[in-house]
Structure formats: structure tokens, C-alpha cells
Structure 1
Amino acid sequence: LAGLMARKGRRAAPTAGLVLVVLMATAAFAFGHEGHDHGEASTPLPAGDAPQRMSDGGVFLPKPSQRLLSIRTVVAEPEQAQSAVTLVGRVVADPNRSGLVQSINGGRIIVAEGALPRLGQTVSKGEVLALVEQAMSQADRSSLSERIGEIEQEIAIAEAKLTRTRDLAGSFVAPKSQVTDAETELAGLKRRREILLETSGAAEVLKAPIDGVVAAVKAVPGQVVGSADVVFQIVDPSGLWVEALVYADVEPGSLGAANATTSEGTPIKLSFQGFGKTLQQQARVIQFSIENPDERLAVGQPVTVRAFVGKPVSGFILPRSAVVRGGNGETIVWLHAHPERFAPKPVHMEAFDAERVVIRAGLSEGERVVVQGSELINQIR
């Protein structure tokens, strides 16, 4: 009886195994066709943590690798914006609120009131800044001295004439009109002598042309300056402009609102003033006035100007770094389709400005687009 039972068990074991295989196959078939969803089954996420290209063209990129590559995404939203151009500029003084102090004839710098003005010092219009001792050659000095001597001799003769005329007029021999003529002649000779003496020894006075602060001091006591040398520069800190260069690809007359930033990131609001009709370094000069200038701005400081041009444009506006070239040469963006999966999507784009593009077709609202690291994702194989 025991032997019979053992033989029956051996015959039942293969049968039970066959039944188990059939049940598993049936279950797999049922789960595979439930809802008719073949997407995830056809492109399953690969095992492991290594970035790799998937069979459908997408890229598997684990979270640690995303953080390492500094991947950044944004949600695509249609917007309206105006294109802009980036210009290289610098801060200049408002020509109506600044001034240069120069000597007319040149000479030696003399301190006027204890010391020369220092940088950043506030001055008022008409304030004396320095004196310039006139430079004169030996020949000119000799000629001037000779002329002064002649005038002094004429003055002595005129004084003697005036004395005689007064005596004659007192005895009623000469009319009083001759006394008046002699006095007038003597006064004129004395005035001519004063002018010559002032010319020979008086120093030229340098005064501040406007109210402002001293922006540049280019002289020291005793220095000899020429008529073309700038001794001081006075600037009104509340009146500063920005001057930029515009090349042939941009029409200056089409520029509208503008702003600028310094190398430290300080924002500057600008107002268009005008542009020149002559070329400098193959470019036109365009000028903006600064609204409420920051006290930290300095004349000559470089800035980056962003000027708006043209009419507003509607569409998906993305950074240029978001758009790359696919393997077949078409223009694509990378969509963040899954926490660790990125999918390429062909798009049609147009240039918007130097830093951005506008997507005209291929992108839908709400899709999450990679805007930083697209080139790195595109290189994964």
C-alpha cells in the first residue's frame, strides 16, 4: 500500500507543476493587457543608477546625477514680451550738469585759499579753486617794462600840465574846460598803467563753473599747465548719463525703454536721450539719462545696457540654452517626463534676443522644459 501511494505521488508532481506554470502565464497575460497600457511596459526604466539613453530616444537620469549636472526646469507658459539688445556702455557726466576747469593762457599753479580742492569736495558755482601765475618770456617782460616806463613818463608830463592849467584857470587866464581835459588825460594814463601792471603780475583765477563735487584733480602746487590741460572736473552727482555703442545691426531710432546693470549687479533705470550721426569705432553713440542715480556710481564706470526694441512678441519664451540639436539635426527641447526620465521633443523656434528664443510650435502649455543642462542631457548615450 505504501509503494502504491508513492507511485501515485510521483505521477501527480509533474501534473501540479504544469498547472502552476499555466496559472502564472495566465496572470502575466491578464496584467499585461489590463487597460491596454503598453507604454511603461515597452520602455521600462533601466535598473541601476547610471545615466543612459533609452530605446525610445529618452534619457534615464537618476536624481543624484541631476543634482550633479545642475539640471533646472520650468513649466512652459505662454507670455508676451518685448525683444531687447545688450549694449556695452559706461557712465558719463550730463553735459549740462558738469564742467571742466582750464587755464586760458597756462602758467604755474598757485594755491588760492590754503589748499587745492580735494576729490569729492562739494563746491559752489564761482568758488575760487586755484590761481595760475601767468607765464611770460623775457622779451615780453622787457617790452612790458618799457611800455610801463613810457606811460609813467607821460603821466608825469600830464600832472605838470594839469598843475599849470589850474594856476592859469585860477587867475582867469585859461578856461576851466582845459583843466577838465587835463584831468581826463591824466586819469586815462593812470588806468593804462594799472592794466599793464595787472597783466604783468596778476594771476589768473580758476573758478568752479557749476555747483557739484570735484570728480578729478589733475594739478599740484607749482605745476606748470598749458591752456589745453584740464585742471579740475566738476560733476553734479544727481545728473549722470550712460553712453553706449550701437552697431549696424540695430537701428538706434527703434530703441525704447532701457535699463542697465553694473558689474556688482546694481540696477539702473534709463531714459533715452538721443544718438549721434557719426561713427565711433564703426558704431553710433547712443545716450541715456539715469533716473535717480545711485550715489555709488562713478563717471567712467562700465555698465551693461539692455534696450528694448520692436513690438511685443507672444509665445513660449525660453533661454537659448534650453534648445539643442538632436541626432538628426532637428531642433529639440528636453521635457522632464518622469522624475528620472527626460524625453526629447522637436520644436520650431525663432530668435527673440541675444539670450532668449520664442517657441512657435511643438510645445504645449504646462509641460516642464529643461532650461539648464540640456546640452549635458543631449550628450548621454
Structure 2
Amino acid sequence: MTFPLILLSLLLVGCKRDEPAVESSIQAPWVRTVAVASDDRTQIRLSGTVRGRYETPLSFQVPGRILERHVDAGQRVEVGQLLFQLDKRDLMASVRVAEAELETAKASLAIARSELKRQQQLMERDFVSRQTLERFELSLRESESRRDAAQAVLAQARNGLGYADLSADKTGVLAEVTAEPGQVVAVGQQLAVLVEDGTLEVEVFLADGMRPPKTGTLELASGVLPLSLREVAGAADPQSRSWRARYRIEKGSDLLSLGAVVQVLLDQDQQGVTLRVPLGALDERSTGPQVWQVIDGQAQPIPVEVLALESEHARIRASLAEGSRIIALGTHLLTPGMAVQEQAR
């Protein structure tokens, strides 16, 4: 009996060794935080492009094949100067068809008038009824309508023939020329862009949520030129989520050339304190831009207004005191109230 008891004790000890000793506990993830710093700069530096105040796309009012091109990109043109010509053979054929239809309509009208006159004479002798005469009067009015329609078609065809020559309606510079001889173009297809003589502007793109400054300066080697805000796009660009703004060059625009890339300093709106945070701390979701703070061991979002984006940092305005600590990385993985452990840097 002793040996079976010893064997049973050994089996029980082996079963106890296979059981897990302690269940593992799940710890809150670590997050790295940084202190926000105030940004006391009074200007925002951006790159801009010199554009014309009035930029008119040029196109034909009739379709056809381009026969000749008389201008190149960057060329200065005067009012009335010929730019492009279409092949006119089809347009001239349309004019001849319209002329023939007009002659036919005129002949029909002459016949209708003659018949009405003859019927009026017969009615005076009581050979035809009043109803018969009214039918011929109606036929005359229909012939007159066909003549008027044929005249309108002929006028339209002649206008189309005139549209085969595209001339400049303003004095300026051709910023773009994309059409070539032999190319078949549709009505309204852009062939070139004419920049009218006048005030030049600077086009810049502002970060989403940034309030466009009213004034600024344009930096040149010879000095600076004053700028003033003229317009802001009504909607953000769907791809870059940036907002296009145009600034008028108040004076000295003759020192610039179209399409030049320039450095712009825009005067910052000083209402409220602006802060400087790492780009990784900025979280832009459908609820709007925000940063995250660790409050009582939990991650909480703080809405912000983005003023400018730089290579490594973002300038924001938010309800945060200078020196407040925010989460610097992995903000897209956070949810409100999520338990975290703070690792200060």
C-alpha cells in the first residue's frame, strides 16, 4: 500500500506545477510629453507666387482645327492682335448653306405674296370664300417666319466664320500658351491665359484654420514692398486642405515678373497668446485640430487654432498656459479618457 500512495502524491505535485501562478496585469501605455512654448514672433513667413490681378483664359467660340498660331508664352500682345486662326473651310461651307436656305425662303415668300394677291382679287369677285383667303394669309406669315429664321441662321454662320480668328481683347502678357497648329479644339477649350496690364498680386496658401492676416510685406533684394489682403478662397483646397489668399502689391510691382516665387512676411494677429508645438503633437481629425493633455492619468483633447505649419513645428492658439505639457507622439491613437502613463521629456 505504501508504493501506490507515493505515486499518487507525485502525480498531484506535477499537476500543480502546470497551473499558471499569477495572471498578467495589463498596464496603461506610456506616452511622451513635452512642454509648449510661447511664440512671440509678429510675422509669418510664407512662399508666394506673383500673379496678375486679371488673368483671362482665351478660347474659341466655335470648334475646329487650329490652322495657325501667331504667339508664344511670355509674349506681350496689344488689343486686336491676332493670336490663333482656325481652318475656315467648314465654317465657310456653313455660310454658303445658310445663304442658299435664305434664298429658298425668300423665293417661297414671293410665291406666297403672289398667291395671296391673286386670292384677294378672286374674293373681290366672289369666286373664293373668306376662309380660303385666310389660309393664304397664314401661308404668307409662315413664309415670312421661315425667311426670318433663315436670316438668323445666316447671321449666326457669319459670326462663326468671324470667330475663326482669335484676337486679344486686352493689352497684356500671355502667361500660358498650350495650343498647337493642327490641334482640334472644342468650344471654350483653354488655349492660353492673358494677364492684363495692371496691378500684380501675390498668391499664398494658408494652413487650414489659420486666420488670414490683413497686411504684410514682400521681401526683395532691393527692399520690401507693402501688401494688403484682397481676397480669400471660399473653400479649402480638397487635397492640401489649405486656403488660397491673394495679396495686392501696393507699389513697386514693376520690379517683379509674373510667376516669380517670392518670400512674404504676413503680419500676425496678436489677439491671444500663440504657442509653438511639435508637428507630431497636432491631431487633425474630423472634429478639428487638437492637442492632447494628460489629466489625472487620462488623455484629454484640447481644441486649437492652427496659425502656421513649419518643417518641424506648428504655431497654434489654444487655451493652454505656457509650459503646459502635451503628448508629443502617437496622438492619432488616443481616445478621450484613455488611461496613459506620462513620460516627460
TM-score (norm 1): 0.44
TM-score (norm 2): 0.48
